[in-house]
Amino acid sequence: MKFSSKNKIFSLTIFLFSCFDIAIINSDSSLQKISTPSMQEDHKEINNNQETPRLTVILIIDQFAYHHVPKLKKYFKYGLKTLIENGIFYTNAKYKNAAPSTPAGHATIATGTLPCEHGFALGYWLDSQGNKIKIVSDDKKQAGVFSKNGLYDYGISATNLMVDTIVDQFILSSQPFENHQAFAFSLKPYATLPLAGQLGKAFWFDQKSIGFTSSKAYVKKIPKWLKEFNTELKLDKLKETSWKLCYPVDDPAYSFKYINDYNHAGFEFSLIKNPQKIDFSKEEPFEFYIKTPACNQLILDIAKTCLDKNLSENPKDKFLLAISLSPLDKLAHNYGPDSLEVVDMIYHIDNQIGNFIKYTQEKVGASNVLFVLTADHGVAPIPEIMQAQGYKKSIRIFVKPLIEQMNKIVEKNYGISNFVIDFKKIYFFINKQKIKNLENTILNEILNDLKNFLSKQPGIKKVWTNDELDYFDIPQNQIEFFFKASKYPGRTGELICQPEPYCVLTKYKTGTSHRSPYDYDTHVPLIIYQKDWFEKQIFNEQVCMTQLAPTLAKILNISKPSASTYATLPGI
């Protein structure tokens, strides 16, 4: 830990007394961290004398479940190894909401709140007419999205994010002598927008224009540096969508039993061994490219370009980069967490992050860069892979036949057709047009009938109505709380399902998802690292991902997001 010359004698004295306290309290050297009230106060005093970092980098690896770390850690050689070995590593960081998702996870990281507060619970919801409303949609003219030749006929912004973010507070804390700038990058708008908040600048990949874009909610026009980046992004550079393995194919780094099992993958072929072409006849012409390590590098490259340009033009400013590496999520949904594709992509990410760490530290000085590495959610194993390993309770629960049977029940007993119209994550949505003139007693009867039907289905453990969860007073350490914390009025469904462990409620016959309150979906890595300041500690006690935003606020010496009520992480 670095000490200011001003307080060197005082701080050294406190440090010696703290060491004496530790020795008295516990002589067991196997404990990795012992914390006393006096130590915490001393750390606060030291932090008050610390210069805030010139650059803060928040790296979010989409769908990077914690269970990848103990499995693959000994094969990490670069960035992930650097952060794990040198940073403050929280080995038991959890999301306290059920079925964590990309929008919900990114918003929780940014706001320090749960979906029931920030509102980014799902990627879309259904309005009173049954229309899908995307969480990032904004029909105001001021939110128009930039196309190659002007603006698209739709808008995108973070207007549906109901609370402020760490980036908002970072920008608001700018001073005449110290301006703050923040940029967020991802493949997906619903990952980028909560990171940028209202006041940062958000950029995402647009497959139609073959490059990164933004909306007028964030920039008045596309910046010159972004135009140049997109111009240099030649189409032929994006055509090769397969990749070379990081290690020789027979290396122990790939010695996992089901690593080459494609029987239940979304694609029956290896993306590594079979290059796929860009197909502009498809809605997603870059469908395969966005599932490759090259796409992760593309996201890191645009962040580097942005930083290069803005650092040179604004040498006195401080910067925050929020970078979401989306391809792992795109890949793992199809191939599953045990696949060769996913394992090797993580090795590539290790190398790519290593290069990015080196680049930023050379740019502003190693002790002037604060790194955060985490994930927005985990991932479940493919159910059929679990069955092959002997866990027969793991099943795939198909949603479409459930909806058909639910509608038959309602039509037979109440004469109402097409009552259940959609399913997303853990929620069944009902047709609001059908209940306009329905008495509450009848509606409750229908919902209870459907609840009883779903509760009897294999693989479904519990079902609640919205009202039931609303009126429950549940401790935060119970799974029922996770479901209550996931709801946001008007944006989540009317019936909420809890699957049994390793069971997946899904529309798809292959692949996997993250739709449960269980450890494999909620447990993610969390590392904070700044050379000479925040390093070389391990905390094994459980922490909540809502603690990250207020912790960053403390480090950056700014106000925490206003709706966050959570304590800072230990060790900061």
CATH of the domain at 285: 3.40.720.10
Q: Is the dihedral of CA 339, 342, 348, 349 positive or negative?
A: negative
Q: What angle (nearest 5°) sits at the alpha carbon of residue 542, between those of residues 538 and 543?
A: 90
Q: State whether 10 and 109 are in the same domain.
A: no
- 68 vs 80: CA distance, rounded Å: 12
Torsion of CA 13, 16, 20, 23, to 10 degrees: 160
Q: State whether 207 and 61 are in the same domain.
A: yes
Q: State whether 21 and 168 are in the same domain.
A: no
Q: Is residue 140 part of a domain?
A: no
Q: What share of the chain is helix, strand, coil (3-state, %, to 5)?
A: 40, 20, 40
Q: Is residue 167 part of a domain?
A: yes
Let me know if 458 is exposed, middle or buried by CB neighbors in 10 A (0-12, 13-18, 19+): exposed
Q: Is residue 195 part of a domain?
A: yes
Q: Is residue 152 part of a domain?
A: no
Q: State whether 337 and 457 are in the same domain.
A: no
Q: Give, rounded to a whole angstrom, the gap between the first and last alpha carbons of the chain.
A: 12
Q: Please count the other Cβ atoms lying within 10 Å of the Cβ belonging to residue 54.
A: 18
Domain count, the chain: 3
- 117 vs 468: CA distance, rounded Å: 18
> Which distant-in-sequence residues (6+ apart) come within 8 Å of 280 by Cβ?
none
Outline where DSSP puts E strands in 364-509.
369-374, 396-398, 420-424, 427-430, 460-465, 495-499, 504-506
Q: How confident is the model at residue 478 (pLDDT cuts 50, 70, 90)?
A: confident
Let me know if 80 is exposed, middle or buried by CB neighbors in 10 A (0-12, 13-18, 19+): buried
Q: 362 to each of 52, 141, 180, 357, 510, how far by Cα in Å?
A: 18, 41, 20, 9, 44
pLDDT of 32 > 70? The answer is no
The more confident residue out of 33 and 363 is 363
How does pLDDT run across 229-266, given as a tens digit for each residue? 999 887 767 766 678 999 999 999 999 999 999 999 99
Q: How many residues does the chain have?
A: 572
Q: Which residues pair with 88 in a beta bridge?
A: 528, 537
DSSP letter string, 50-105: SPPPSEEEEEEETT--TTHHHHHGGG--SHHHHHHHHSEEEEEEE--SSS--HHHH
Q: Which residues pair with 377 in a beta bridge?
A: none
pLDDT at 69: 98
114 membership: H or E segment, kind and range: none
- 334 vs 292: CA distance, rounded Å: 13
How does pLDDT run across 73-120, given as a tens digit for each residue? 999 999 999 999 999 999 999 999 998 999 999 999 999 999 999 999
Q: State whether 173 and 316 are in the same domain.
A: yes
Question: DSSP character for 488?
Answer: -
Q: Is the dihedral of CA 146, 148, 151, 152 positive or negative?
A: negative
> Which distant-in-sequence residues (6+ apart) come within 8 Å of 307 by Cβ?
55, 319, 321, 360, 363
Structural domain span for residue 416: 396-506
Q: State whether 244 and 351 are in the same domain.
A: yes
- 70 vs 438: CA distance, rounded Å: 53
Share of the chain above pLDDT 70, in %: 90
Averaged confidence pLDDT in the chain: 89
Q: Is residue 388 part of a domain?
A: no
Structural contact between residues 449 and 61, judged by C-beta atoms closer than 8 angstroms: no
Q: Is residue 157 part of a domain?
A: no
- Whether the full predicted model's pTM is greater than 0.85, yes or no, is yes
Structural contact between residues 288 and 262, judged by C-beta atoms closer than 8 angstroms: no
Q: Is residue 142 part of a domain?
A: no
Q: State whether 355 and 479 are in the same domain.
A: no
Let me know if 183 is exposed, middle or buried by CB neighbors in 10 A (0-12, 13-18, 19+): buried
pLDDT of 316 > 50? The answer is yes
Q: Is residue 122 part of a domain?
A: no
How does pLDDT run across 265-285, given as a tens digit for each residue? 998 888 898 877 787 788 888
Q: State whether 549 and 438 are in the same domain.
A: no
Q: How confident is the model at residue 437 (pLDDT cuts 50, 70, 90)?
A: confident
Q: State whether 303 and 408 are in the same domain.
A: no
Nearest Cα neighbor of 299 from 320, 329, 325 is 325
* Of the candidate ranges 22-31, 151-160, 299-308, the one whose mean pLDDT is the lowest: 22-31
Nearest Cα neighbor of 146 from 211, 53, 77 is 211
Q: Which amino acid is at 297?
A: Q
Q: What's the CATH code of the domain at 438?
A: 3.30.1360.150
Question: DSSP character for 354?
Answer: H
Q: State whether 471 and 552 are in the same domain.
A: no
Q: State whether 19 and 68 are in the same domain.
A: no
Q: Is the dihedral of CA 211, 215, 218, 219 positive or negative?
A: positive
**Tokens of residue 416, six digits:** 């109402």
Q: State whether 24 and 105 are in the same domain.
A: no
